[in-house]
Structure 1
Amino acid sequence: MPRRILTVLRAESLLNDGTALVLLAVAIEVVTDERPFSWSGTALAFVESYAGGIVIGAATALLLIPVRRRLPEPLLHSVLSVATPFLA
């Protein structure tokens, strides 16, 4: 597959996962009577979730890109690649 299609597929997968997690959180809050359901509250939860993810992702990238440029060994690159999502 062309690289551009793979990038779109990865982004689409992240959107699906994020959407499912927000819907699960809203459903649990409604079922446990922590808050009543509202479309505006659900929309706000989506915006907060995606904005937070963008901010955290950008901050992680700003911190780790300079580190990865200085790593001399490919093994260290691999270790950092695996650890990055957990650090974020």
Structure 2
Amino acid sequence: MSNSNLTRRGVIKTGAVAGAGLALPTYLNAAGHSGFTNAPTGSTVTLGFNVPQTGPYADEGADELRAFELAVEHLNGGGDGGM
């Protein structure tokens, strides 16, 4: 039989280090490029919002839709100048 010193903690640590090592080049590359941001480029922004309007969560969906419309009004300058 082989005597293995493989532990769950060691596997998790090795996986975390390997994952960070694989993600690091992507992170460093993205820092210098503006193509990875969500910043709007034009004078208009299109927002998408998915809310339940039927079924058991319709009441919560109606509240979420009102909150979304309030946020749009705020962004467009509804009383406070907007963004």
TM-score by length of 2: 0.33
Q: Which has the higher contact order (CA 8 A, sep 6+)?
A: 1
Q: Judging by fraction of residues, say which structure has more helix.
A: 1
Bigger radius of gyration, 1 or 2? 2
